Amino acid sequence: MLQHEYQLIVGVDSMRPPLILLHGSGGNERDMVPLAAELSPRSTAIAVRGAIPWEEGYAFFRRFADRSIDEKSILTQAPILAEFMADVGVQWSLRERPILVGFSNGAIMAAALISIYPDLAAGAVLLRPLSPFATPASTRLPGTPVLIIDGSKDDRRTADDGRRLAEQMTHAGAAVTHHQHPAGHAITEADCALVREWLGAHF
């Protein structure tokens, strides 16, 4: 039995890497479904529901009352999500390693996943992320393409959050592209345009 609820969006091109879509805090898998058509309409996509009930929805890991990251929760949930990704890939006969596309809470978990399991994904798109760990993981990322996009008007992040994560991942060996543009916390069409351009260049 798979460990996460999810929604499958079947693509017409099985040679393209599938997208694994991870929502933000208090959301659910349906929040990310429209992104499949926006970002890569020919790709299969799997929109995943976080396992932890949170606010009016779900999350992929817990946060403390001051909204700081509960790293123990990430380390507990990450192997479950990684196993789910492997199992769902077998179930649907997915040929290629997936690209993780995470927003906010989902972006933080995506960053944790590729840091802990460097061979799990072909790449990652991190929208409004934070670094998942105060002390970065010691694993090496073998040139994994990573796109980080911040909003300069995002009142849930500081100006250095994305830059700090980009530096950490670059130091670990990832091929990082980092953008900051004048947006708030929500995903915008400008974000989607940047992601489409990045996907076209790398995949």
**Cβ atoms of residues 116 and 172 within 8 Å:** no
Q: Crossing angle of helices 105-116/71-91, nearest 10°?
A: 80
Q: Look up the pTM and report it.
A: 0.96
**Cβ atoms of residues 129 and 161 within 8 Å:** yes
- For residue 65, report the phi and psi dihedrals to the nearest 5 degrees: -60, -30
What pLDDT is stored for residue 14 in this prediction?
85
| Residue 163, number of CB atoms within 10 A of its CB | 14
- Tell me the H-state helices in 71-185: 71-91, 105-116, 161-172
Would you kindly state where each structural domain of the chain is located, as residue ranges? 6-202
Helix, coil or strand: residue 149: strand
Mean pLDDT in runs of 10 for the chain (203 residues)? Answer: 86 93 97 96 96 94 92 96 94 94 98 96 97 90 95 92 95 96 96 98 95
**Cβ atoms of residues 52 and 134 within 8 Å:** no
Report which DSSP code applies to 126: E
**Cβ atoms of residues 77 and 51 within 8 Å:** yes
- Nearest by Cα to 104 from 169, 166, 26, 177: 26
Q: Is 93 left (phi over 0), alpha (psi -120 to 50) or beta?
A: left
Separation between Cα atoms, residue 36 and residue 39, nearest integer Å:
6
What pLDDT is stored for residue 185 in this prediction?
97
**Cβ atoms of residues 121 and 114 within 8 Å:** yes
Beta pairing partners, 27: 58
Separation between Cα atoms, residue 80 and residue 78, nearest integer Å:
5
Superfamily of segment(s) 6-202: Alpha/Beta hydrolase fold, catalytic domain (3.40.50.1820)
